[in-house]
Structure 1
Amino acid sequence: MQHWKRTTETANRLFDQGELVDAREHYLQALALAQVLFERWHDVDEAVAAFVIAHHNLADLHLRLNQPHESADYLCAAHQRLLQASQESRLPQALRDAALRHSGRTYTELLSFIAEYGQYPRTERLLNRHAPEASELAARPDATHRSPAYGIH
């Protein structure tokens, strides 16, 4: 997890300096690390948060590059994976629960994105396909838990 954190911090620094190509490379490395850690890290909340942060950082980067379609793809990928993970019986219950908790944040981020940038094909497909689950999730009081903070949002 330390390697993921260092990679993300480097990417954030490059992002802040306007070095977007280099930032993207580091964000992609952080995403690859987060994907590996997702099912392997002992702290499931940290693992899921790293996964979400990695996606959201790339979404922010693509917004800075005026590429909202790519941003939508990263936001949808994170949300979709968490919804899938929350239903995968092969995963430990703690990881499934963490995925469900964090999917409240990814759902909120998707709705905020759509409010500002409009619908994109992938957002529309994802939200229409998972509309009953998303509505149920949004209604859960623990689904809007705000800690930990995500990415550079």
Structure 2
Amino acid sequence: MARPQLNDSVDLPQVAQALSPWQSNIMAGNYAFERGALLEARDKYTTAHTLAAHLLSQFSRAKICQSVIDAIEHCCPALVVAAHNLADTYRAMNQCEQACKWLCDVHITLSDLIQHPCNTVRTVVVHHHHKTYLELVQFAKLHSQHPHLIEKINHTLSYSSDQTATLH
């Protein structure tokens, strides 16, 4: 289970404030997961994912400055943590198809963001993109008996942002 790793000494009070609901939902989701309340955990992680995705989308379209880069540096891991926690929850619920969906979706989101015009943003994204890549490879190894999931993962790993089809 991934834990939030927001730095309390963030120089960006606006980003910390914007990510505060994300962190609350992740922590509540972790508590629910640990108690075995998987539906509650799923709902909390879904809310956290939605919040992180929205913030990352907004910042990735903003005019680049150091504050925007710092915000993206915080939003990328927030999105990855939420997606990986959702995948873990779905695995615990024996819903491998849904777990795979969340892992693929976050990887595709980051694959798209790697095309950002700012080199610094691309560098930040590549770090997290590598993590999602490794998570997909590990998922494939654990679920090699499901060829349809392996096909979905292979499609995701070969995805490039100029493709029009995305997995949902």
TM-score (normalised: structure 2): 0.70
1:126 aligns with 2:144: no
Residue identity over aligned pairs, in percent, reads 27
Which residue matches 1:115? 141
Aligned length: 128
- Deviation of the 1:114 alpha carbon: 0.5
2:45–2:86: 8 Å Cα contact kept in structure 1?
yes
Q: Secondary structure at the match of 1:88?
A: coil
Q: Which one has the largest radius of gyration?
A: 2
- Deviation of the 1:93 alpha carbon: 3.7
Query: Of the candidates 25, 28, 41, which is equivalent to residue 7 of structure 1?
Result: 25
- Deviation of the 1:94 alpha carbon: 2.9
Q: Secondary structure at the match of 1:38?
A: helix
- Deviation of the 1:2 alpha carbon: 1.4
Q: Secondary structure at the match of 2:36?
A: coil
- Deviation of the 1:14 alpha carbon: 0.3
1:79–1:103: 8 Å Cα contact kept in structure 2?
yes
- The separation in 2 between residues aligned to 1:25 and 1:107, in whole angstroms, is 25
- Deviation of the 1:64 alpha carbon: 0.2
Q: Secondary structure at the match of 2:114?
A: helix
Which residue matches 2:49? 31
The alpha-carbon distance between structure 1 residues 94 and 80, as it changes in their structure 2 partners (threshold 3 A), is: same
1:2-42 residue CA offsets vs partner (Å, 9 max, x unmatched)? 11111100011001101111111111110111011214364
Structure 1 unaligned regions, length at least 5? 131-153
1:34–1:50: 8 Å Cα contact kept in structure 2?
yes
1:21 aligns with 2:49: no
Task: Please tell me the root mean square deviation across aligned C-alpha atoms, in Å.
Answer: 1.6
Which residue matches 2:115? 87
- The separation in 2 between residues aligned to 1:63 and 1:57, in whole angstroms, is 10
1:11–1:23: 8 Å Cα contact kept in structure 2?
yes
> Looking at both structures, which has the greater relative contact order when contacts are Cα pairs under 8 Å and sequence separation is at least 6?
1
Structure 2 unaligned regions, length at least 5? 1-18, 60-67, 161-168
